[in-house]
Structure 1
Amino acid sequence: MVSEQSWTDARVVWQYHQMHHDLRPCSVAIGLGSHDMGVADTTVDLYRRGLAPLIVFTGATSRTTQERMPRGEAVHYRERALELGVPESAVLVEPRARNTGENIRFSREVLEQAGVDISSVLLVSKPYEERRAYATARKLWPEIEIVSASTPLTFEEYVESIGDASLVIDMLVGALQRLLVYPKQGFMETQVVPPEVAEAYERLVREGFSSRLIPEWQP
């Protein structure tokens, strides 16, 4: 059972993870592979709205997707996009990436090989991964304008869609830990973490929401 305080803290962290960017037309939409098929659906929706003329789906498989997406996250995303009516010519696939850094680097390579001129990227991720994806892209592709996007859900709606509040909070906490420690490893651009967000994160860790933490970097 999640306490009222933990629910409040999780909502604070959820809001911080989202960049709240105003969506605008970009050179390409890059959908980051994961267990969440909603990323593919949202990327397609943005394409249909005329916010990007081209889609790149990126991602291999992981422990959480190898059974559900045996052909790879990007391949399954592409198949979903084609089912929804996106023409084959508008979808590129990057099937090797196994982390966010590789998502960015390998997608960039695919676009360069295709001869696509890029000045801006609509970066589509899970809602709680927006800031992490943005910070990684800013580090690895600093000359490109990055606009973050995700399925427009509230924290409560996302918990309902997953069906496990504790798991969702674990994922929020794990994503924030990486925002705190990965810049020191050179993996992403530093993000300012407001005191109220840091305090909420620390309380959630003390309450045991720690299954997605990297042990050696626990607070």
Structure 2
Amino acid sequence: MISEQSWQDPQLLWNFQLMKHEPRPCSVTVGLGSHDLGVADTTAELYHRGFAPLIVLTGATSRTTRDRMPRGEAEHHRERALELGVPADAILVDPNARNTGENIRFSRALLAERGIDVSSVLLVSKPYEERRAYATARKLWPEVEIVSASAPMTLAEYVASIQDARLVPDMLVGAQQRLLIYPDQGFMIRQEIPEPVTAAYDRPCDAGFTSRLVPAS
């Protein structure tokens, strides 16, 4: 059980991960696959609001999704978008990406293969991965403008939607770790991280919220 006091650090990490961009019309929307179909919901909503005429949904499977999304994250997200009224000819699917870097690289390649000119991308992710996704896209797709987006919800609302109070802090810690170590590995741009955010990362690590950490090289 996570105490009310111990939620203060996840809340700070949550707030930092949000880029707080205002959605605006872009060349294309790219929805990053994951266990969270809320990404597909948000992508469909932005399509219906006219922010982009085309959607790319990207993602294979991971240890989190292989059981619940056996046809692959991108395909399950495509099915949800279709249920929400997005026309099939407005959706492209990349079924192969297995991490955020591949999400970006494979989406970029898919659009280039189709001869689609891209000057801006509305990048849809889980709320607590906005900053990680943005930093990765800025590194791997530097010539386009990146606008971050996610479901507009609070941390408490997100935990309730996932129904796993342990998983969300673990994921927040994992997302924050990548901001710290991936720039040195060439996977994303470096961003300034305030000291209170670093402390809010260190304390949950010390408390054992480490299941989504990657080995630091």
State if a TM-score over 0.5 links the two structures: yes
* Runs of 4 or more above 4 Å deviation: none
1:114 aligns with 114
The 2-side partners of 1:13 and 1:2 are apart by 16
1:92 aligns with 92
Letter in 2 for 1:35: H
CA drift of 1:129 comes to 0.7
Is 41-50 or 81-90 further displaced after alignment? Answer: 81-90
CA drift of 1:215 comes to 4.2
Whether contact under 8 Å (2:181, 2:216) holds in the other structure is no
Q: Is 1:186 aligned with 2:186?
A: yes
2:173 aligns with 173
2:140 aligns with 140
The 2-side partners of 1:2 and 1:66 are apart by 27
2:65 aligns with 65
The 2-side partners of 1:148 and 1:83 are apart by 24
The 2-side partners of 1:109 and 1:11 are apart by 36
The 2-side partners of 1:9 and 1:61 are apart by 29
Give the secondary structure class of the aligned counterpart of 1:76.
helix
1:29-72, Cα deviation, whole Å (9 max, x unpaired): 00000111110011000000001110000011112212221111
CA drift of 1:5 comes to 3.1
TM-score, length-normalised on structure 1? Answer: 0.96
Equivalent pairs counted in the alignment come to 217
CA drift of 1:174 comes to 0.8
Give the secondary structure class of the aligned counterpart of 1:165.
coil
Is 73-82 or 110-119 further displaced after alignment? Answer: 73-82
Letter in 2 for 1:111: L
Question: Pairwise mapping of residues 156-171 of structure 1 onto structure 2 (< 5 A)?
Answer: 156-171=156-171
1:163-205, Cα deviation, whole Å (9 max, x unpaired): 2222210110011001100000000001111111011111111
Is 132-141 or 2-11 further displaced after alignment? Answer: 2-11
Whether contact under 8 Å (2:100, 2:136) holds in the other structure is yes
Is 166-175 or 204-213 further displaced after alignment? Answer: 204-213
Letter in 2 for 1:163: Q
The 2-side partners of 1:203 and 1:97 are apart by 32
CA drift of 1:144 comes to 0.4
Structure 1 vs Structure 2: percent identity of aligned residues?
Answer: 70
1:14-40, Cα deviation, whole Å (9 max, x unpaired): 000110001101000000001111100
The unaligned stretches of length 5 or more in structure 2 are: none
